[in-house]
Every structure is written in structure tokens, then in C-alpha cells.
Chain A
């Protein structure tokens, strides 16, 4: 039983901001379909009245004093940037 087709996989790739080649889409579609098929076995587990568990330990919010500490210097923060202009990260225009 197929649950994911090529169009759906292309839509997921767009949501994930991943450019995929046609060959990658062809390969990923049956692979993801098989994995989704496998994880669907969970629907057989009775989880009536079970709360989701997002975190394994029962820890409540962690608070600390709001003390200022030194952050990275501008040059350090920009050192790994693939594109910069002056003290800023540079990108192509986001708006027309």
C-alpha cells in the first residue's frame, strides 16, 4: 500500500527548503513510503488517555539569574559566514 507519492514528496522537500534533483525524488519516494509504512504500525498501539512524553525526565522549567555575560565579538560571529558586508551577514534580496 502506497502512502506517499512523488508529488507529496516534492511538497515535503519544499517545506523542508531542500532542492532535490529529479533522480533524488525518484529515489526518495519509495524509501520514504516504506519508512512511513513501517512507522504506521504505531496506530495499532492503544494510547487512550496517554499523555504525550516530549522529555524523558520530569524536570520543570530551569531558572537562573539573568546575569549579563559576554557574547561573541562581531568578528568571531562573522568569521564562518559564507557572505558578509561590513558588520552584517549578506543575502540576496528577500523582497522584490
Chain B
């Protein structure tokens, strides 16, 4: 059921917020043990919120735009008095004293916070296998990964545990799991949504995004969470817009850019075919396809793994076993740091802290980190040039469909390649979205990615919605 439909039925009093919550809690209790999408379900808190909303509705009080809508939150987004573990041993007992800005916004809109979803530890991964609390499984085929790092949030929507969840996207962590689970994943422009209370990974790349069953729901939720926040100095001062009010309006004279680099070697043929079918639907709708080039994009992955890890090595220095998180004591302070961090972090997090530390260390900084930042400017310039010739850029979200659990666990570079089409939008700060555009012969979902110029979320959502309506109208 879409969020829009849930809210209509709630507003018409065809169902109460408590009964709607019960429906989803039943779904969670029947299948979460198998899928491991939720790390924590706040049943008591959620029931209390739902009852309060029902009570206020009965009294005729004015309610927020998401009144009674159950929402799940990725477990790297702080929730007051509800555990926030980042799927890490080092934060396994951490209970934040405050809500993230996006959680504030959801509560003000009268959404019901159901619980916290699984992820790759500190959002570092593309499969949700790097969780200290066990992997999440793909609800379409539980022998396969759901993508990552917001795998729990994508799985929760795909398995009908909640109509909406929040994730975070540093290199594709909302869009790639959305593609692999067959849901819609939206990554807003960098700075469009406050990062206050989002546990930092790569601060110049991180953004909170949404996972929903369709594009209209993404527009609805973005309208609630977007906008300025003085507590995040990189959050843009532009106010968010009412994306939901315009999302059903198709765009005329749309120019869809198709980057030739996104259809090169490494792209699965079934994925390519489904994406090309969607491109032809745009043509039928009157859009013009424009061949474009993003010549620096083959270097984006290398840039990403230097910039993101360099930023992570600094951001994760705060887990020192002193102020919060787990501690292993030593004979002196240095030992306490080294032992607490050595025992608290998992393998992928250690790998990335090490790479980032190396890239920033004396004698290597210019060759690695500064070089990566220069190539990052070239990547952004590629997009700027491309958007002179087109309005949105289209292509696959992920080069393959969902792979099997364990398949890439021992080969970090092969795992990193899962993000090859998504990281460009993070490096350039652009809004991007993945929507389901078909299935492979094995029945696995395929994602179609659209990218728009910075702050053009309205255009992005309208372009996505006009395609989605055609895709869903098909018999």
C-alpha cells in the first residue's frame, strides 16, 4: 500500500492509525526474523504515537501531513531514547539523547516511528552484509543481498513492513538497495536535507534520502524532510518545496541525456535491456533522447574511495572508547583507544579507516587526497557540461541485479563496483532517484536511475513519475 493511499484511508477514517500500525507490526513479526530488516522495533513507542493520533483525530484536532503513517529509520540516524547502533559493535548500547533533524520533521508531521533498520556498519558497504548484527536478506529472493548500505530500509519497504523508510546515501546507499529490492530510492541534492543527527561517514557526500513504493510517495516525504536547519551549516538556506503538489504534472519538451559511459563493459545485458525499454517509453511520451558523455566518470570510483575514506577516517576518530560507545581498557590512554577501536569496528570499517588514514598521511596526501579532489572537480564539470544539453540524465542504477549472499564478501574491489553508476551524483552533489523498471528472467528487480541538476528535485520527481505511470500501466 502506498503512503498516499494509507493517508487517504486514515483521513477518511476507514482505518485508524492503531489498526494500520497493527497491520505492519504483524507483517514484521511474521517475517523479520528471516529477513533481518529491523534491528529494533519500538512497538511500545509506536503504539503510543498511533493512539495519540487517533485520539487527536477523534477530537477534530488539526494533524500533520503524515498523520498516522508508519515510518522506519535507518539505524545511523539518531532517535531520542531509541537505540542507534550504526550496525556496529562499538555503538551496540548507544541511546541518543536527541532526535536527528529529519526525525524531528517526521514527528512534527505526526508520522509514527516504527523502528530502526539494518545497514552496513556505519553505512560502509553495498550489500548490508557488513552489519555486526547479521545481514539483511532480499525479500524477493532471501538467498540474495538487498543491496546497501540502506539494505534494511529498502527491504522493509519491499517486504511491506512499512510504507516509507529513511536511508542515507553517501555513494549510492539509498538508490542501489532500492534498485535491488524493487522500490523507489531518492537521494536529494547535497544540503537539501539537514544532516543534523545523521551519524557522519563522508561529510561532503552524505545526505538523507527516502525509500518508498512509488515516486509520488517520495515527493510527499521529501516535502516534509527538506529545508534549512541552522544546526547543519552545510544545509542550504533554500526552503523545500511542495513536491507532491506538482509530481503528477508531466514535463513537456523533456531532454533525457544518455551517457555512453553508463552502457559500457560490465553492464548486465538484462539490466541494459530494461533500461533501454524505459528510454524508449520516454521517447513515446514526447521526450528527446540526447547522447551525452561524462568522460571522467570511469575515474569516479577511485575518487570516491579516496574522498569518502579520508573523511571517514576523521569522522570515526570520535569513537575512542571515552565519551560513548564500548570501551576496552588498557594500561594507558593510547592502549584504551587502540583496543576499543580494534575490538569495536568490523573489517570493512577498519579497511576504510586505514585507506583514508593512508590517503591523508604525510607524504601521500598530495598524491591521493588532493589529486582525488581535483578529479572530483572534473567530474562535476562533466555534469555541468552535460546539463547544457539535457534536462535529466538517465541510465542504470546498478550494473547487475541482486547478487548472492557471500558472493563478493572476500573481494572489496568487486563489491565497490556495485556503486559505479551512483557515486557521480554524490561527488557532484546532485539529486538522483532510482525507480523499478522491470525484472530479470530470474524475477529480480532492475533499477532505472535519473539524475537532475542541483536543487532540481521537482524536475527529477516529475520526470520519474511520468515514466513510472507508463511502467505501471503496462499489463
Contact = CB atoms under 8 A, between A and B. Distances in A.
- The number of chain B residues touching the other chain, given as a range, is 35 or more
B421 interface: no
Interface in A27-76: 27-28, 31-32, 34-36, 38-39, 41-43, 45, 47, 50-57, 59, 62, 64, 72, 76
Interface in B189-222: 189-191, 204
Contacts of A57: 189-191, 236, 429, 454
A42 B342 CA distance: 31
B357 A16 contact: yes
A77 B323 CA distance: 8
A38 B413 contact: yes
Interface in B359-387: 361, 367-368, 370-378, 380
A45 B299 contact: yes
A89 B266 CA distance: 52
Given A18-B341, A28-B351, A82-B325, A50 B378 contact: yes
Interface stretch (B62-70, B123-131, B166-174, B302-310): B302-310
Contact of B204 (A16, A34, A38, A55): A55
Contacts of A4: 358
Contacts of B377: 50-53
A32 B347 CA distance: 12
Nearest to A17: B337
Contacts, number: 169
A43 B306 CA distance: 13
B86 interface: no
B32 interface: no
B326 to A, nearest CB: 6
Contacts of B358: 4, 12, 32, 36
A13 B338 CA distance: 9
A91 interface: yes
B327 interface: yes
Interface of A: 4, 9, 12-21, 24, 27-28, 31-32, 34-36, 38-39, 41-43, 45, 47, 50-57, 59, 62, 64, 72, 76-77, 79-83, 89, 91-94
13 contacts: A16-B353, A18-B341, A47-B378, A50-B375, A50-B378, A52-B373, A53-B374, A55-B429, A59-B191, A82-B326, A91-B336, A92-B332, A92-B335
Interface of B: 93-95, 97-98, 189-191, 204, 230, 233-234, 236-237, 296, 299, 302-303, 305-306, 313, 317, 320-327, 329-339, 341-343, 345, 347, 350-351, 353-355, 357-358, 361, 367-368, 370-378, 380, 412-413, 427-430, 454
